[in-house]
Structure 1
Amino acid sequence: MLLKQRLLTTTAGALMVMGFHGAVHAQTSVPAGEAAATTDEADIADIVVTGSRVATNGNASPTPLTVVTTQALLAQTPSNIPDALNKLPQFQPGRSGQAGPGSAGGNSGANTLNLRNFGAQRNLILFNGLRVPATTAAGEVDINVLPQMLIQRVDVVTGGTSAVYGSDAVTGVVNFVVDKTFTGIKFNAQAGISSRNDNEQWKFGVAAGTYLFGDDRAHIEFSYEHFDSKGIGSLLDRKAGKDVWTATGSGTPANPFMLTRNGRASIYTNGGLITVGPPSLVGRTFSSNGVLTPFASGLPTGSNGLQSGGDGLFFNEIQLYAPLVTDQAYGRFDYEFSDALTAYADVSFSQSKSHNGFLPFGTNGLPGANGLSGAVILSGNAFLPESVQTALTASGAPSFVLSKYESGDSAVPGAGNRNRTRNWLATAGLEGKIFERFNWNASVRYGRTSQHVINTNNINASKFAAALDAVVNPATGRVVCQVSLTPFASLYPGCVPVNLFGPSAVTPTVADYITDDTSQTLINEQTIFNAGISGEVFSTWAGPVRMSVSGEYRDINTKQISTTNPLNRASCTGLRVNCLPTTPAYFGYTNGPFSAQQTVKEAAVEVLVPLLADVPFIRKLEFNGAARYTDYSTSGSVKTWKVGLSWAVSNELRFRATRSRDIRAPNLYDLYRPGSESLFGFADLHTGVTKTVAARSQGNPALVPEIGKTLTVGAVYKPDWFSGFSISLDYYDIKLSKAITTVAGTSAAIQRLCEDSNGTSPYCALYIRPFPFSDRSPANTATAVLSQSLNVATLSTKGLDIEANYSFSADKLFSSAGGRFDLRFLGSYQPKLLTQQMAGGIITNGAGVNGVSKLRLNLMLAYNADSWGMTINQRWKSKQQAFSAPIVFQIPDASAYAYTDVTLEYKPKLISEDTTLFFTVQNLFDKQPPVFGGPAGAPGLTPSYAVGYDVVGRYFTAGIRAKL
């Protein structure tokens, strides 16, 4: 409440503006050599374009390009830049940031960018033109780790540019560009809160820059920013979470997926449910400590183990909106030795912290013979109520199986994920000119990202199994762990027996014994040496020919450090039940240590060749081409290329088209991730033998780069008769072959594909046999079956992007009004997003399915006067369905939705001439997300919302910005 009072006080005098004129549409056509017609165009005249190293500015970009200033982004979404970028229609929800469900193995608060929903690892992230090391095992970059206070703009290319910038640029490039000439001191301070008095946020940042020495040849700048968001603690804090909607069914015509309200898992209870044992005990639950009563069933659903209502439970360990704390620091120094030589160095440090709950193997559900479903309780257990022991004795049953879930408010705390990501980037370089015609640069960058994940309250399977076998010590009459009375007692020091029979039977002492905090640290390091030269090589009658030549060498190291044993297996020595050689050491996420190294050598060339100029219907016709040769020490060499044409019909109309071959190379985790193993009953179609074999999950050193083919065709129109207006329309078609996907050899369908190919299918590599494939004797039965990544999937997408801008003086509407209006419209239509997981498999269309609206629109209107301003941002997305064909479902579509964000600014000239008070309301009309249902089998596991909807609701932010 205090924060809300402060927020309202801060905004009492705040009126609004967004400096929206800085949101540049870099696709308008300005002929080379002509002065820009508007202030916006002048602002981008010196842009070094992402997508081309030879184009002179954003207006001449041969590839679709959007340039957005930080001022424009944060005026709409004041929390941070990645949140604002994810509202642009080119992006689909990647890692959902704070709104994502908890996980055990990664950063639950990570904020990634996902162009076209092709995967965040398939668009390249740059910082000042150089790549940023991945922060996750999947090769994604958490944008939260980039310093934001001095970011001047963000360049977004929505076309394949691997030939220009290298691997991963399949769907495009996002380049964060720092203001390298900042002078003065600026700061911002703000606070925010939702209309439901939660998710309190505050942010503070400061930046300073100045020229040194008398001749202004040296420049230094630095920045620091802190952001703290408290998050939203529970699904129950919003209505849809309280209703516990769950998707049930199997997706078949006879049993389609549908929404079930008040979903409950009928195989667990908080007190413990007997699922296997004497008939007199099965189906009874410990409703209170030591008291066994009949289990009250709910209404049946289309899913086994799921009911509506009843004594079952739902999982409520996941936060609706994860807390997030970030710190970002940046410093840069440059010195101009002469007009032809400048040296620079910069360094940044960023840290992101987040935490959330997660569900390890059904949360604190107990391990049984299969390690997942329940705990085997032996007859004679010291904690058994007398009535239960009597029933066991009467039936002659040696044991029963108990399934139990300890809720987060019991003595056994829920499993949690505490993660910290740290990022260091240090760059030093030289740049200059030769013969006044050529620009050259040489640099070295060292980047190091570490993701440290702690799984708190992770149940130790060995300790738990030992504690479950509780007996009475005949010498003392005290209840002890049975293993403590054997020669193996030293293997389980301090063993504390556990009583499971009731909702609060587990004591804090027991909980402390059976749980550990485990951790994994993933470290990615890159050292990048980069050099290039570009400029006009000669001129023709049609204009100058520009060329860029560059080379790059990358040394990449990945290392994972784990607190678990390398085999990730529980120690079962001396234990009678609840532990097998295949039982994982911990219930939560664990992975063994590994390290790997890779070197990459690249050489690239790009040319811009004028073909025609100043002839009828051709103001200028230019060819743009690029080629790159890349050699990976791990996966071999690969070639990429791009060709394009830019046809300026006149000063008003320009057409452009590109065709490119792009790649994403497998990262070191794809190639060498450590393996895990379990035993599996395998029916070998090749030999007709069924036997228990080792099922292994591991990396695949044989992976090769994914291959993308991209076509873009577009037009830009800027009419002379309509001053201040421009519009662009671009079509894209992307096809990705050899896409990396995980394939399980344990699948009968996969095994059949191998057999039908007579051993030629890549799936046959998943079966380890002692002899050649031609041998079908029992002796050649597989000894191990692999689950690993293969280059077998195909992805494709196509669609249209539209962007329109109009800027005009307010005098056109109101005489002597002053100020300017700026309108910007962004739209993306994506009707196809096709996936085929394997050759011969079903092709599904993900467009219009959960998280991917086919049509996404964004309209921004800003008015900016001397002392005040206003910005309105309207976002709209078309409806989404729950699943793609051929799955059958009756879950209602998530309807089309619109969000309205409003910002008011007032410039009172308090601290300085450049002081702004601002007040922002996001989701002005408190639009609530439609119910979509969590996944079948896990009621309450994830928020019951379609991906991409706002789960917070109406949100207020107030603050102050000033520059001295």
Structure 2
Amino acid sequence: MINFKKSGLLASTVMASAMFAAPALAQDAAGQTPGVDPQQTTTAPAEAVAPTDQAQSGQDVVVTGTLIRNPNLQSSSPVTTVGQQELTLRQTNVAEEVLRTLPGVVPNIGSAVNNGNGGASFVDLRGLGPQRNLVLLDGSRIVPAGFSGQVDLNNIPLALVERVDVLTGGATTTYGADAVSGVVNFITRKDFTGLELNASEQITEQGDGNVFRVDGTIGANLADGRGNVTFSMGYQKAKPVFQGDRDFAAAQIDSVTGEESGSGTTVPLRINLGNGTGTRQLNPATGTLVPTYQLFNFNPYNVFQTPFERYNLFTTARYEVSDGIEAYAQGMFSKNKVSTVIAPSGTFGNSFAIPYANPYLPAGVRAAACAANGVVDCANATGSFNATLSRRFVEGGSRISEYTTQLFQLRGGVRGDLSEHLSFDVYGTYGESENNARSTGQGLRSRVQAALDATSTTACLNKDAACVPLNVFGAAGSITPQMFAYLNVPTTAATKTSLGTVRGVISGDLGFTSPGATEPVGIAIGGEYRHYTAESSSDLPSQTPDEVLGAGAANPDSFGKYNVKEAFAELIAPLLADKPFFKALTLELGARYSDYSTSGDNWTWKAGGNWEPVSGVKFRGNYQRATRAPNINELFSPTVTGLDNFATDPCQGAAPLGNAQLRAICIAQGAPASSIGNIEAEPSAQPNNRTSGNINLGVEKATTWTAGVVLRPDFVPGLTITADYYNIKVRDAISQPSFGDALNACFQVANNPGLSATNPACTAIRRNPLTGGLFGTADAYVPLDYSNSGRIWTDGVDVAINYHRELSFSKLDLSFNGNWTNRSRFQATPVSVVRECVGYYSNSCGSPGAGSLFRGSIQPEFSFNQRTTLGFDGVDVSLLWRFQDSVKYEPLAVQELLNDNNADTDPPLAQFQRIGVQHYFDLSSRIQATDNFEFTVTVANLFNNKPPVVGNTLGSTSFNSGNTYPSTYDALGRRYAIGAKLKF
């Protein structure tokens, strides 16, 4: 990205398109006004959709997609721009919220994700995973939020954002690794002078989800315009929207039966005494064990909008120290807190030793335990028996995790002219991000065990004076506040990252032109050094497997770092101009050499060009060989057992009784022989996986290319039409198999005579030694290892239409930004199935290779945004239409369920296997009351379109929640926002 001083240059742009994500907790889901002709201006905002390669920002022109300092040379890469006016009309408060609605962008962790949100928000371009796109601030990298290297969008200072450029397609040659699927570049306002105050308030029609935001910006020029200082500060607070306050989400729905369902961790408790007894539920009235009759509805506790609070400061300064030499600086500080609220904790199938003489143990349960363990004289039984308990601590209230992030980043540099044709820009940046997590309401397994190990109601056998004997055997209310207070120990963890960068670029032109051209050949050369570190630490309970109940995974201390040295060069050469059939012809070339301390060296390169045969018609194309080096999480993350999402288990139910080979496989995985016929799928559809980093990972390699046309017909002034085809292929992709892929590697071939229980894909899966399930202990899991074995393909077409016209009574702006995705395929390993996920949803579809937390989002085949704006004297009225194509449950997932040798694992109900087309309309009006005051009123989801209901077990816990997909479909309903701006 290069800044240019040139007034009057107008851009027409457009074309729209974890380790820091928290592990999903044991939840228990059963289961310029852009787009106008360059010679025209308009005051009515539009949905940035007219691709070009430049955009106006005050007096500075910032080019996203090229390093070359020449505003008359255009990059061949299409760029989508969302301008400040569009952000104003949408009354957007967090960058992630507007980015996820752009066609071609797939929702990721953000404000609509509750269980699995670790306090950060990410963007996912083209559905290739947030680790494969890059987020920049004024063309410079931002310190990442966690081990996976992704930038937390919660920290972006929207008050100073002039526009957002989204370059989709490979950009690693220009910006380095992580830009395989593209770049999001937030461009801030330059040379701001005066005072500006902004305030906004938003609330849903049902009176919840209030969002308040206030920002203040002040700026002044120095020394007769030789310098400028700008300072901005802001505050924002968003309140939650509970799922229980929406009728479609008040009760959890089973996606297979269509009936109200819930979690198997419930109250009264469910208990498995081992030795083939199966899991049964306590009837407190009789003290006996009976078949399960009551599950727990966890939906009302969860939220559709996470509570959020943010303070941010941002400042920029520049000063021309001498003719042609300018020093500049930028600083950003942000402190934000994201809270997640989920259902009460409990014992999620954990195993405990319980004395036969426990004072709260009902006689019927004691008798059943004696029978299961062969104790004849039960009345005088001594010692303890082992059992797995599934008991919800409803008495303790919700589990609340507070993620507080503090980020700062400083940037300082010098830029200027080396000659008439060349300039330089040298800068350094340093940033740190620290996320502190504090969780309450969970309970510790060791304390539950100590409190169960009692033979009286007054003291525990461990002699701990603080220990209070625990009654898990009664109805709701049997756990007293004193009992739960002993269990409830707050847990803490911290993740800290840093990024230091030194970068220098020389750019401009060579001072000569090709024989047939009028513009000189542009060039840029430079080098960059980056150093990344990431470390995490946590208290002892958080580091201990199975200790923090309902926490999803242990959080051991970890550390990783790497550095990279890079050199790069770009060239844009105008070859012909103003010739027959060659109004303009331009060649673009680029190359980058990278040397990573962890994965060695590699090259990337690009070749592209623009051909304008006649005025108003331009063809453009770009081909790139891109790479992505493994991040700290993929290299250095410790081995942990955590939660995944899968509703069925091939070993569940009676199927192994009639299939000797299936029975042998289940036993080889660690299931006791006595459990065969009684093995349960995890009742929350959250079985265990095991993951770890792999220091032997190499870089993944990609080829990306785009080909498109830009039309600005002279006979229709103000009209711009663009269409661009994109194609991205990634080989040696750093990936993990999905949970389903790992199961299929064993069980889809269980009837093959050439395979047996000794198949490594089968024996790598480990089962609970008491119950045979894939849950309840950290020693039961399905391994999901990182490797360079993946392959990813995606291609499609972006179409943008933008039209501006002066009418007799108003100004009219029409814009259309659409995406058609032809395919999005992922193969985790050479022996895995090839998954096609465009237009499909399931537990296995989502961001490939990004880990189980990022799977399960939806990528429709076709989507578009269309905005119509009428601008009157001082008043704009605008309607935004957002369209999402219909989607279906993944056919491959249906086939896998039918082929897993188990009649008890059924596909979802037919009515939940399709989601119809969705239309959302947002109406906005901006009124310029005086020269210094304007206000904006917005009604989002004007017609109160309710989200589609599909139950809670079709996708990952992060994205399939409240019986719908709240990141993809609007679960909040109609809401109103009003904003005011005062400027001097």
TM-score normalized with structure 2 length: 0.79
Residue 926 of structure 1 corresponds to 944
| Distance apart, 1:567 and its partner CA | 6.0
Give the aligned residue type for 2:531: D
Q: Which residue does 2:184 correspond to in 1?
A: 174
Counterparts of 1:212-231 in structure 2, within 5 Å, are 212-213=222-223, 215-231=224-240
Identify which of 529, 534, 541 aligns with 1:553: 529
Equivalent residue number for residue 723 of structure 1? 717
| Mapping 1:384-783, distance limit 5 Å | 384-386=361-363, 388-389=365-366, 396=376, 399=385, 401=387, 403-406=389-392, 410-472=394-456, 479-484=458-463, 494-502=466-474, 503-537=476-510, 538-541=512-515, 542=517, 543-564=519-540, 568-569=544-545, 583-584=546-547, 587-588=550-551, 589-676=553-640, 697-742=691-736, 749=745
Q: What code does the residue aligned with 2:211 have? A: Q
Alpha-carbon displacement from aligned partner over 1:428-455 (angstroms, at most 9, x marks no partner): 0001112121121000001111122222
CA contact (8 A) 1:27 1:61 kept: no
2:977 pairs with 1:957: yes
User: What is the CA distance between 1:26 and its match in structure 2?
Assistant: 4.6
Once residues 554 and 669 of structure 2 are traced to their aligned partners in structure 1, the CA distance between those partners, rounded to angstroms, is 30
Cα distance per residue 1:657-687 (max 9 Å; x no partner): 1110112211112111123479xx9x9x99x
Q: 1:59 to 1:38 in 2, by over 3 A?
A: farther
Instruction: State yes or no: 1:903 paired with 2:899.
Output: no
* Contact 2:406–2:435, Cα closer than 8 Å, also in 1: yes
Residue in 2 that maps onto 1:942 = 961
Partner of 1:9: none
Report the 3-state secondary structure (helix = DSSP H, G, I; strand = E; otherwise coil) of the residue aligned with 2:154. Answer: helix
Structure 2 CA distance for aligned equivalents of residues 738 and 278 of structure 1: 46
SS of alignment partner, residue 91 of structure 1: coil
Q: Is the 8 A contact 2:745 2:832 kept in 1?
A: no
2:44 pairs with 1:25: no
Change (3 A) 1:164 1:393: closer
Corresponding residue number in structure 2 for 1:102: 115
Separation (CA, whole Å) in 2 of partners of 1:311 and 1:91? 41
Deviation, 1:416, is: 2.5
For each residue in 1:489-512, what CA deviation from the matched residue of structure 2 results, as whole angstroms up to 9, or x when unmatched? xxx562221111221111112212
1:540 maps to amino acid: S
Letter in 2 for 1:37: Q
1:109-148 equivalences under 5 Å are 110-148=120-158
Cα distance, 1:821 vs structure 2: 1.4
Q: Secondary structure at the match of 1:479?
A: coil
Structure 1 residue 58 displacement after superposition: 9.0
- Any conservation in 1 of the 2:493–2:542 contact (CA below 8 Å)? no
Determine the structure 1 residue equivalent to 2:865.
Answer: 858
Contact 1:128 1:176 in 2 (8 A): yes
Q: CA deviation at 1:134?
A: 1.6
| Paired position in structure 1 for 2:63 | 49
Match of 1:207 among 217, 220, 223: 217
Three-state SS of the structure 1 residue aligned to 2:734 is strand
Residue of structure 2 equivalent to 1:576: none
Distance 1:281 1:676 in 2: 28
**Residue 457 of structure 1: CA displacement?**
2.4
Query: TM-score when scaled to structure 1?
Result: 0.81
- Among candidates 790, 793, 801, match of residue 790 of structure 2: 793
Q: Once the 2 structures are TM-superposed, how far is the Cα of residue 752 of structure 1 from its aligned partner?
A: 12
Asked whether the equivalents of residues 245 and 263 of structure 1 are also in contact (C-alpha less than 8 Å), the reply is yes
1:872 to 866, 876, 879: 879
* Paired amino acid for 1:83: E
For residues 353 and 294 of structure 1, do their structure 2 counterparts lie closer, same or farther at Cα, with a shift above 3 Å needed?
same
Structure 1 equivalent of residue 837 of structure 2: 846
Secondary structure at the aligned position of 1:539 is classed as: coil
Partner of 2:684: none
Q: Which has the higher mean CA deviation after the structures are superposed, 429-438 or 396-405?
A: 396-405
Per the alignment, residue 680 of structure 2 pairs with none
Match of 1:830 among 777, 797, 821: 821
The 2-side partners of 1:798 and 1:414 are apart by: 43
How far the C-alpha of 1:413 sits from its partner, in A, is: 3.0
Q: 1:84 to 1:74 in 2, by over 3 A?
A: farther
Aligned to 2:357: 380
With over 3 angstroms needed to count, the CA separation of the structure-2 counterparts of 1:431 and 1:751, relative to structure 1, is farther
Distance 2:370 2:430 in 1: 69
Partners of 2:261 and 2:385 lie apart in 1 by: 30
- CA separation of 1:531 and 1:244: change in aligned 2, threshold 3 A: same
Does the Cα contact within 8 Å between 1:730 and 1:800 map onto a contact in 2? yes
How far is the alpha carbon of 1:286 from its aligned partner? Answer: 4.0
- Find the aligned partners of 1:401 and 1:857 in 2 and give their Cα distance: 54
Give distance in 2, aligned partners of 1:837 and 1:128: 35
Which residue in 2 is equivalent to 1:264?
262
Aligned AA (1:98): S
1:312 alignment partner in structure 2: 295
The worse-fitting range, judged by mean Cα deviation, of 79-88 and 386-395 is 386-395
CA 1:722/1:907 → structure 2, altered by over 3 Å: closer, same or farther? same
Q: Which blocks of at least 5 consecutive residues in structure 1 are unaligned?
A: 1-20, 249-258, 298-309, 473-477, 485-491, 570-582, 769-783, 812-816
**Whole-Å separation in 2 of the counterparts to 1:84 and 1:853:** 17
2:574/2:585 contact within 8 Å kept: yes
Say which SS state the counterpart of residue 60 (structure 1) adopts. coil
User: Partners of 2:259 and 2:55 in 1: how far apart?
Assistant: 57
Report the alpha carbon displacement of residue 519 of structure 1 after superposing the two structures with TM. 1.9
| Percent pairwise identity | 27
SS in 1 for 2:338: strand
Counterpart code for 1:917: F
Residue type of the alignment partner of 2:392: E
Cα distance change on mapping 1:279 and 1:130 into 2, 3 Å: closer
Which one-letter code corresponds to 1:501 in the other structure?
F
TM-superposed CA distance for 1:36, in Å, is 4.2
Structure 1 residues 279 and 53, CA gap change in structure 2 (3 angstroms)? closer
1:284 Cα deviation from its structure 2 partner:
4.7
Q: Distance in 1 between matches of 2:72 and 2:244?
A: 48
The answer as to 2:790 corresponding to 1:808 is no
Q: Please give the secondary structure, in 2, of the residue aligned with 1:430.
A: strand
Distance in 2 separating the partners of 1:261 and 1:796: 38
Measured against aligned partners, the alpha-carbon deviations of 1:869-895 in whole angstroms (never above 9, x if no partner) come to: 211101101001133425244224111
Q: Where does the alignment leave 5 or more consecutive residues of structure 2 unmatched?
A: 1-8, 17-31, 43-53, 379-383, 643-650, 652-661, 672-688, 766-780, 842-857, 896-906
